[in-house]
Structure 1
Amino acid sequence: MTAFLHHNLPDSLILEIGFLKLHWYGLLIAIAILVCLFILSKLARFRQIALDQIFDLSFYLIIFGFIGARLWHILFYNLSYFINQPLAVFKVWQGGLAIHGAILAGLITVYLYAKKQKLSFWLLADLLAVVLPLGQAIGRWGNYFNQELYGKACSFSWCIPISGEAGYFHPVFLYESILSLILFISLLLVLRLGQLKVGMITVIYLGGYSLIRFFMEFLRLDIAGSWFWGLNWQQILSLAVMMLAVQLVLRLGLSKNR
């Protein structure tokens, strides 16, 4: 696989029929959603949550998570571009969905749904926290086909070419995809063991992904400038979330028996 990535430039378009175009980015996001829904339905049975409630919640999460991801990208990544090109807001097949916005919108959606249905917010959040990194692992490959999320120049055999650029670059999307997959497997095993307090899986996910994102930012070229001590704002946000996660673990404790 690394040899293929090293020697080939991807095409973001799968096929085109008239005015209809199918892009890898959209297809991979759709696959990620379907895979996550399938696993989520299995986990819901394990935790004795009605499937109709899971599917209802998932419907709202897809809508508001998508809106949150797009708004976050617009507001915090390239606002001036979207002000000058307002129609570009709708060109989501070109990329531009920020996971932080999806997570924030998702947490709000879960909280409101749980309150309305008189369900445990943390129980629902834990199930979603398990499957979310798997969705991220799949979705990151959309960045590959759009030639996004690449890092600094490098000479390793797994580094990738970028159209219009000389040399090879760190495949940050691949690093994050692999690490997200490891996070998914770890959280799934922890859930199956059933030894943690309700809510701790959500806390571990937030801390774990923030840790991944913090180190990946050192390689990225698409985040300009630094804010403090050479860190960009994404790293500062990741540090803040990690500190919050540690505080919650220390205050609430991991084990049910504590």
Structure 2
Amino acid sequence: MEKNIQPLDPIAFSLGPISVHWYGVIIGVGLALALVIAMREGEKRGLNKDVFADLMLWAIPISILSARLYYVIFEWGYYSQNPGDIIKIWNGGIAIHGALIGAVVTAYVFSKKRGISFWQLADIAAPSIILGQAIGRWGNFMNQEAHGGEVSRAFLENLHLPNFIIDQMYINGTYYHPTFLYESIWNLLGFILLISLRRVNLRRGEMFLSYVIWYSVGRFFIEGMRTDSLMLTSNLRIAQTISIVLIVGAVAILIYRRMKGLSKQRYLDRSV
């Protein structure tokens, strides 16, 4: 039996009656870093430096709302009985697929309003998005959520993980797979891949589609290890289903755009 293993405090600091959770702080850091990277790359590609800052003003609140709405819809059995918990996003419970839906729709409308290529915006933002996801998963770590099935402490030690991660994976007397870490590492590798692909000078739209494919492949397999998945049916995980749809859809769009000559412009082209 493990002794004196205390979980990390999920509260970063308090301002009077207001408690600021690490979950929100970490998500905020990820968003801030993603914005800085996108703004710098956008300027290099000929976009006004304020474009991504303006986009984020709309995309962040809409994405948070859509992420929470997505989660609540698929957990309606619980929230219909506990409506007061719907607003408690600081306790976790926002779905990245919901956030991505909100972000993509917002970016599409924004690009049309500004007369900017949606694909150019999406390509530039892709590395920033996946880096923000890599950082954001550590918010799940602080909340002891998004973990996998039971494992032994010896298993975690054999992964050469630091003790603070191993101890945080000790929940109610049991150790669990740190699937938050697996996905964070996968996303970090995806960030490195996308940054490298800039030199390849892919056709416009293919950077973003590569992001969709890379993230979805990793999410499909890692989701299968988790114990807290949103379920479509008793045996069908929503995230895995959506991952398959996204992979097939992204590949189909990539092929279609090439066949129809809709992707003649390149990533490094400055024109919009």
The two structures have a TM-score, normalised by structure 2, of: 0.84
Let me know the Cα RMSD of the aligned residues. 2.3
- Counting only pairs closer than 5 Å after superposition, residues 46-195 of structure 1 correspond to structure 2 as 46-76=44-74, 78-155=75-152, 156=155, 157=157, 158=161, 162=169, 164-191=171-198, 193-195=199-201
- Deviation, structure 1 residue 256: 5.4
Distance 1:194 1:116 in 2: 30
Q: For 2:19, what is the secondary structure of its paired residue?
A: strand
Distance 1:257 1:106 in 2: 24
Q: Deviations over 1:67-122 (max 9, x none)?
A: 1111111112x112222222212111101111101111111101111111111010
Q: For 1:219, what is the secondary structure of its paired residue?
A: coil
- Deviation, structure 1 residue 27: 0.5
Distance 1:224 1:36 in 2: 27
Determine if contact 1:161/1:167 at 8 Å carries over to the other structure.
Answer: no
- Deviation, structure 1 residue 163: 5.8
- Does 1:245 pair with 2:242? no
**Sequence identity percentage:** 35
- Does 1:214 pair with 2:212? no
Paired residue for 1:20, among 18, 21, 40? 18
- Deviation, structure 1 residue 174: 0.5
Distance 2:167 2:189 in 1: 22
Determine if contact 1:68/1:101 at 8 Å carries over to the other structure.
Answer: yes
Which amino acid is the alignment partner of residue 177 of structure 2? H
Distance 1:58 1:47 in 2: 18
Q: Deviations over 1:213-253 (max 9, x none)?
A: 1001111001266749x542321211111111222233334
Distance 1:58 1:225 in 2: 30
Say which is worse superposed, 235-244 or 9-18, in terms of deviation: 9-18
Distance 1:218 1:143 in 2: 17
Q: For 2:26, what is the secondary structure of its paired residue?
A: helix
Which amino acid is the alignment partner of residue 94 of structure 2? L
Determine if contact 1:196/1:256 at 8 Å carries over to the other structure.
Answer: no
Determine if contact 1:160/1:171 at 8 Å carries over to the other structure.
Answer: no
Which amino acid is the alignment partner of residue 202 of structure 2? L
Compared CA separation, residues 57 and 171, structure 1 to 2 (3 A)? same
Determine if contact 1:133/1:180 at 8 Å carries over to the other structure.
Answer: yes
Determine if contact 1:29/1:138 at 8 Å carries over to the other structure.
Answer: yes
Runs of 4 or more above 6 Å deviation: none
Q: Deviations over 1:152-199 (max 9, x none)?
A: 1113114555565333110000000011011011111212x1521111
1:4 maps to none
Which amino acid is the alignment partner of residue 238 of structure 1? S
Unpaired stretches in structure 2, ≥5 consecutive residues: 267-272
- Counting only pairs closer than 5 Å after superposition, residues 221-236 of structure 1 correspond to structure 2 as 221-223=227-229, 227=233, 231-236=236-241
Determine if contact 1:32/1:136 at 8 Å carries over to the other structure.
Answer: yes
- Deviation, structure 1 residue 61: 0.9
The two structures have a TM-score, normalised by structure 1, of: 0.89
Q: For 2:12, what is the secondary structure of its paired residue?
A: strand
